[in-house]
Structure 1
Amino acid sequence: MKQSWFTIEENKPLTSSVYRMVLSGDTSAITASGQFVNIKLDGFFLRRPISVCDYNDSTLTILYKVVGKGTEKMATLLPADKLDILTGLGNGYDTAKSGNTPVLIGGGVGVPPMFRLAKNLVAEGKSPIVVLGFQTAAEVFYKEEFEALGVDVHIATADGSVGVKGFVTDVVKSLSAYTYFYTCGPEPMLRALSDCTTTSGQLSFEERMGCGFGACMGCSCKTKYGNKRICKDGPVLEKEEIIW
């Protein structure tokens, strides 16, 4: 974990509620896709945990959805504004277990970490399949960015306005073969995927956090190996260890 000041380079809406923020700063503590950052906002006691979408040596990209006062505040920030950010939080996805054709499944705000994971897998010579789930066509984001990586992208919408009508599980059940799965999204989606997938996999949990680095025990969950803290021991857990 590292505390640093970042400067906002871009903060633009992708949909009516989802924004992309690009920041410049020290990203050296970020070591894997699936990690998150914790952002301090003026006027708010708790930091806001946001998953990492992408990064390089000097920039960090996050995608966030406006759902409360904190993210409403984030949406008003402008280029050149500075933010106090904790980076390198949580564990990330282990790509060594992927096999050649893993499936990556993101639901809503669980989509962002799938992007960097897809980039890493492609760089390793793998051929990932990407499944993205949204409520409607108006909520779809980052489809073109995934396609630009050269990966096979499937979209599911609950109302059928684009792609497969239904949920990400409907798409996954239709896939002929995959070697492993990675996912991030709301807990009901994660549980449904754990039940319907035919391989092992890694699941990243979205959880309300207090401190974000394991001190307060506010985000603990039960596993076969005892209680684990989503912020410190997660957010990525393996399918076989989860007690639903």
Structure 2
Amino acid sequence: MNQSHFKIVKNEPLTSTVYRMVLEGDTSAITRAGQFINIKIEGLFLRRPISVCDYDDSSITILYKTVGKGTNIMKDLTPSTQLDILTGLGNGYDTTKSGNHPLLIGGGVGVPPMYRLAKNLLDEGKTPVVILGFNTKDEAFYMEEFKQLGIEVLVATADGTLGTKGFVTDIVKSLTAYTYFYTCGPEPMLKALSACTNTSGQLSFEERMGCGFGACMGCSCQTKYGNKRICKEGPVLEKEEIIW
């Protein structure tokens, strides 16, 4: 974990509620796709945990949805604003277990970490397929960015306005030639995927956090192997260890 100041380079809307922010600063603590950062928002007591969409040696890209006081403040922040951020939080995804043809499944604001994961898997010579789930076409984002990586992108919307009508599980059930799966999204989606997938996989959980680095024990959950902190031993858990 590292605490440092980042400068906002870009903060722009992708949909009516989803924004992309590019931050410039020390990214050395980030080592895996699926890790998150914790942003201090002026005037608020708790930091806001946000998953990392992409990063390089000097910048982080995050995608966030305006759902509460903190993210509504974030959307109005302008370039050159300095933010106090904790980086390198969480365990992230382990790509050594992926096999050659993994599925990457993102639902809503669970889409962002799938982007960096896809890049990492491609760098390792794997051939991932990405499944993105949204409520409706107007809420969909980052499809073109995934396609530009040169991978197959499948989309499901609950109302059928884009791609397959239904949920990401409806697409997964029609596929058989995958070797592993990675996912991030709302818990009902994670539970449904755990039940319908025919391989092992890794699931990234969202949880209300206090500190974000394991000190307060506020985000503990029970697994088959004992209690784990979502912010420290998670947010990524393996399918076989989850107690639903």
- TM-score, length of structure 2 as denominator length: 0.99
Q: Distance in 2 between matches of 1:218 and 1:2?
A: 20
1:93 aligns with 2:93: yes
> Match for residue 80 of structure 2?
80
C-alpha distance in 1 between matches for 2:30 and 2:176? 34
Query: How far apart, CA to CA, are the structure 1 residues paired with 2:39 and 2:223?
Result: 28
Pairs within 5 Å for 1:32-111? 32-111=32-111
Query: What CA deviation, in whole Å up to 9, does each residue of 1:5-34 have, x standing for no partner?
Result: 000000000000000000100000000000
Aligned residues: 244
Superposed displacement of residue 177, structure 1: 1.1
2:136 aligned with 1:165, yes or no?
no
Gaps of 5+ in 1: none
Displacement, 1:106? 0.2
Q: Which residue of 2 aligns with 1:242?
A: 242
- Distance apart, 1:176 and its partner CA: 3.0
Q: Secondary structure at the match of 1:208?
A: coil
Q: How does 1:1-244 map to 2 (within 5 A)?
A: 1-244=1-244
Alpha-carbon distance in structure 1 between the residues aligned to 2:198 and 2:177: 9
Gaps of 5+ in 2: none
Which residue identity lines up with residue 61 of structure 2 in the other structure? T
- 1:64: how far off? 0.2
CA distance in 2, matches of 1:238, 1:103: 15
C-alpha distance in 2 between matches for 1:107 and 1:168: 8
- Distance across 1 between alignment mates of 2:45 and 2:177: 47
* Deviation, structure 1 residue 98: 0.3
1:35 corresponds to which letter in structure 2?
Q
Aligned counterparts of 1:105 and 1:85: Cα–Cα separation in 2: 27
CA distance in 1, matches of 2:114, 2:194: 17
TM-score by length of 1: 0.99
Counterpart Cα distance in 1 of 2:219 and 2:74:
23
Q: Does the residue aligned with 1:174 lie in a helix, a strand or coil?
A: coil
Identity of paired residues, percent?
A: 77
Distance 1:240 1:114 in 2: 21
User: Where in structure 1 do 4 or more consecutive aligned residues deviate above 4 Å?
Assistant: none
Give the distance between the partners of 1:187 and 1:130, measured in 2 at CA: 19
Give secondary structure in 1 for the equivalent of 2:208.
coil
Separation in 2 of the partners of 1:222 and 1:160? Answer: 36
Secondary structure at the aligned position of 1:146 is classed as helix
Q: What is the letter of the counterpart of residue 82 of structure 2?
A: K
